[in-house]
């Protein structure tokens, strides 16, 4: 009746611990404002601790939480987080929510959660785990540790808000609920966000795999076997997105896209086309963009990269009509619409993030270059991981993927290919910074 909770933890032959929590004063008032609907839960006033070693990631999360009128504090390590949690508990104002990164030096996210759970007076805060590189078994371990949500970075604004609303609502009502994941949020997504997708792919196995991945995410798929068939389908129907294989018989993806763009000069329409290709040579991405494609997915398709593309177009469909701007190489370096959605259209906040990244990324590049010279794979991996996360949060997909490639090469000890990936990353970062400047008030692209 007081909005509290009582529970017991008992171990045979050891003993029992009885616990209770009650909400007093402002905390109780706040709880009364939280809706019983997870999607509509009011977040105002909740006290949140952000734990992430990447400065850009911390600033983005701080900005979003403060925009939602939550009280956010950010720290850069697990050790700092433990100190902050202890201090908040001692002051009588404990945290309601902890958002922690998984991959951090010294003490990673799992170590932090285990330490919190093992304390004599464990924090009662709800814990969410964020990661830019999930591994098999991570979700199961999160569930075992009682973590309320497990999300892959970059986390979209709408996705993060929905997840926080859900876990805080469950914490307040004490209802049993499954761990919140991206798949759970996708399964319950508004049907209005479902995309009609045209898939142009000649390989039967690739067709089945891609169709399965797309349908599992709630999208409708039409399959064609080459560029000629794709153009015929587009002549009959407009799609939210075309996923176009580059190498196909009769008419390849590049030729089909160029013919499509030529027709659009007459109609004035712009059909989004994203390339899918196993080509990985330098310049392949640029050739796709020059042909008029809006984006680039490498094969084999990585589910997180696919999700980033799909969610970007789903967000555009949900909030506005598909943009008709003619794509360019610079536009492909940073997804401007997606980035502005991430910062809720706040150009001043975007300028602050860009300045943070401008100061940080040369240091990470220097660390990676010097580490390559001395064959120091762990340092290359650490620097590339930091860049990957920051770039993903800045909607710089191509650069983030190059950083991921560099990270993967370093982890496997393949420093020869790591050197090539680093060179491509440096070139792409120059384009990223040019476009970021163009998005800021008073600056020209």
Q: Strands, DSSP E only, in 106-260?
A: 126-131, 149-152, 180-181, 196-200, 220-224, 241-245
Q: Are 242 and 198 in contact (CB under 8 A)?
A: yes
- d(C-alpha 304, C-alpha 152), whole Å: 8
Inter-CA distances, 159 with 113, 137, 184, 308, Å: 22, 22, 11, 12
Which residue has 């001043």 as its token pair?
Answer: 348
pLDDT of 251 higher than 80: yes
Bond from prior residue into 311 cis (ω within 30 degrees of 0): no
First to last CA, the chain: 59
- DSSP classification of residue 185: H
Burial letters 158-177, b for 16+ CB under 10 A, else e: bbbbbbbbbbbbbbbeeeee
Specify the pLDDT at position 127: 94
- d(C-alpha 84, C-alpha 86), whole Å: 5
Higher pLDDT, 328 or 49: 49
pLDDT digits (tens, 9 = 90+) for 131-185: 877 677 888 899 899 999 999 887 777 778 888 988 887 655 555 567 888 777 7
pLDDT of 32 higher than 60: no
Specify the pLDDT at position 297: 84
pLDDT of 190 higher than 70: no
Q: Are 294 and 312 in contact (CB under 8 A)?
A: no
- Mean pLDDT of the 348-372 span: 87
3 state DSSP class of 204: helix
pLDDT digits (tens, 9 = 90+) for 83-131: 999 999 889 899 999 999 998 988 999 999 999 988 877 788 999 999 8
pLDDT of 187 higher than 80: no
Domains of the chain in start order, with CATH, are 34-187 (3.40.50.2300), 191-327 (3.40.50.2300), 342-438 (1.20.120.160)
Specify the pLDDT at position 255: 95
Specify the pLDDT at position 395: 84
pLDDT of 295 higher than 80: yes
Higher pLDDT, 206 or 417: 206
3 state DSSP class of 48: strand
Please, which pLDDT band fits residue 26 given cuts at 50, 70 and 90? very low
Distance of CA 152 to the CA centre of its chain: 5
> What order of strands is seen across the sheet that includes strand 47-51?
71-75, 47-51, 97-101, 126-131, 149-152, 180-181
Specify the pLDDT at position 49: 96
Q: How many CB atoms lie within 10 A of CB 435?
A: 23
Share of the chain above pLDDT 70, in %: 84
Specify the pLDDT at position 201: 94
Please, which pLDDT band fits residue 280 given cuts at 50, 70 and 90? low
pLDDT of 35 higher than 50: no
Element spanning 230, H or E: helix 227-236
- Mean pLDDT of the 296-314 span: 78
Task: Give the CA-trace dihedral at 239, 245, 251, 257, to 10 degrees.
Answer: 50
- d(C-alpha 315, C-alpha 40), whole Å: 19
Q: Please count the helices (runs of H) and the strands (runs of E) in the chain.
A: 18, 13
What the block records as the tokens of 250 is 């009769």
- Mean pLDDT of the 40-55 span: 81
Specify the pLDDT at position 192: 60
pLDDT of 326 higher than 70: no
Query: What DSSP letter does each residue of 75-139 carry, written as one string?
Result: ESSHHHHHHHHHHHHHTT---SEEEEES--SSS-HHHHHHHHHHSSS----EEEEEESS--TTHH
Element spanning 373, H or E: helix 347-373
Specify the pLDDT at position 11: 81
Specify the pLDDT at position 315: 66
Q: Which residues pair with 100 in a beta bridge?
A: 51, 129
3 state DSSP class of 341: helix
Q: How many CB atoms lie within 10 A of CB 152?
A: 20
Q: Are 177 and 84 in contact (CB under 8 A)?
A: no
pLDDT of 220 higher than 70: yes
């Amino acid at each position: 009746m007081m909005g509290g909770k009582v529970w017991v933890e008992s171990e045979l032959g050891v003993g029992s611990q009885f616990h209770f929590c009650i909400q007093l004063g402002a905390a109780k008032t706040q709880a009364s404002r939280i809706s019983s609907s997870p999607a509509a839960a009011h977040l105002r006033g909740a006290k949140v601790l952000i734990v992430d070693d990447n400065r850009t990631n911390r600033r983005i999360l701080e900005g979003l939480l403060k925009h939602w009128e939550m009280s956010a504090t950010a720290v850069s390590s697990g050790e700092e987080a433990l100190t902050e949690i202890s201090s908040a508990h001692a002051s009588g104002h404990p945290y309601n929510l902890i958002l922690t990164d998984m991959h951090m030096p010294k003490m990673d996210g799992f170590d932090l959660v285990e330490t919190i759970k093992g304390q004599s007076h464990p924090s009662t805060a709800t814990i969410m785990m964020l990661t830019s590189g999930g591994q098999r078994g991570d979700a199961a371990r999160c569930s075992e540790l009682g973590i309320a949500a497990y999300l892959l970075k970059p986390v979209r604004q709408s996705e993060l808000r929905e997840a926080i609303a859900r876990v805080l609502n469950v914490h307040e009502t004490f209802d049993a609920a499954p761990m919140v994941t991206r798949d759970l949020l996708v399964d319950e997504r508004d049907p209005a966000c479902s995309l009609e997708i045209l898939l142009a792919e000649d390989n039967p196995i690739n067709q089945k795999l891609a169709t399965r991945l797309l349908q599992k995410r709630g999208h409708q798929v039409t399959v064609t076997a080459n560029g000629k068939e794709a153009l015929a389908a587009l002549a009959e129907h407009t799609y939210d997105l075309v996923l176009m294989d580059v190498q196909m018989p009769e008419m390849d993806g590049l030729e089909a896209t160029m013919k499509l763009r030529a027709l659009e000069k007459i109609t004035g329409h712009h059909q989004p086309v994203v390339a899918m290709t196993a080509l990985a040579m330098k310049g392949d991405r640029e050739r796709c963009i020059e042909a008029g494609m809006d984006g680039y997915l490498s094969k084999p398709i990585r589910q997180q990269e696919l999700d980033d593309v799909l969610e970007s177009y789903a967000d555009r469909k949900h909030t506005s009509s598909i943009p008709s701007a003619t794509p360019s190489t610079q536009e492909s370096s940073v997804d401007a619409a997606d980035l502005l959605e991430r910062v809720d259209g706040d150009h001043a906040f975007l300028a602050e993030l860009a300045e943070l990244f401008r100061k940080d990324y040369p240091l990470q590049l220097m660390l990676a270059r010097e580490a390559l010279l001395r064959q120091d794979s762990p340092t290359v991996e650490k620097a590339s991981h930091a860049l990957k996360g920051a770039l993903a949060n800045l909607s710089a997909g191509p650069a983030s993927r190059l950083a991921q490639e560099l990270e993967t090469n370093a982890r496997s000890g393949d420093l020869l290919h790591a050197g090539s990936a680093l060179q491509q990353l440096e070139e792409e970062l120059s384009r990223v910074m040019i476009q970021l400047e163009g998005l800021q008030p008073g600056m020209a692209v």
